[in-house]
Amino acid sequence: MTDSAQIVIGADGRNSGLAQSVGAFLYDVVAPLTCWYFSYWSGDFERVLAIRRRDRNIIFSFPTNKDLHAIFIAWQVDAFHRVKQDVEGHFIRVLRQVPELADRVYAGRRQERFYGTADLPNFYRKPFGPGWALVGEEQTEIMKV
């Protein structure tokens, strides 16, 4: 089955199928600078988004569905393989720098395995062209479709 439209709108992020199919131009491309590991905990967490910086790490924590709390920690990309050898140990060492969050983690329970990636390229992408547009992309030019 084939559908047709005068314009197709995509909102599918960095791995956009629409962007790939139309050859959307990438610019200001920079290799990955960080790697991230994260997991989900149950327990008594504040129901807020908190962003903290400790030394060379960034820590995001926020509520998700099913009363779980996500905690993401970033390291410089060159630490990816070192952290991967002992994710939980490295994760806890960073969390100890935020005692109020670490206490909630210790009192709670991790509900998922750790997930991680260093595949985080940085780029801008032209967000429109003849018959297509990417919602949520950086709008750097006047859109003429």
Which pLDDT tens digit goes with each residue over 33-74? Answer: 999 999 999 999 999 999 999 999 999 999 999 999 999 999
Backbone angles phi, psi at 129, to 5 degrees: -170, -175
Q: Tell me, yes or no, whether 39 and 23 share the same domain.
A: no
Mean pLDDT of the chain: 90
Q: Please tell me the total count of domains within the chain.
A: 2
**What is the chain's pLDDT, residue by residue, as a tens digit (145 residues)?**
677 778 888 887 888 889 999 999 999 999 999 999 999 999 999 999 999 999 999 999 999 999 999 999 999 999 999 999 999 999 999 999 999 999 999 999 999 999 999 999 899 999 999 999 998 755 444 443 3
- CATH number, domain of 41, equals 3.30.9.100
103-114 core/surface letters (b: 16 or more CB in 10 A; e: else): ebbeebebeeeb
Q: pTM here?
A: 0.79
Q: Residues for the chain: how many in total?
A: 145
Q: Tell me, yes or no, whether 24 and 57 share the same domain.
A: no
**What pLDDT sits at residue 1?**
66
Q: Tell me, yes or no, whether 95 and 145 share the same domain.
A: no
Q: Tell me, yes or no, whether 101 and 39 share the same domain.
A: yes
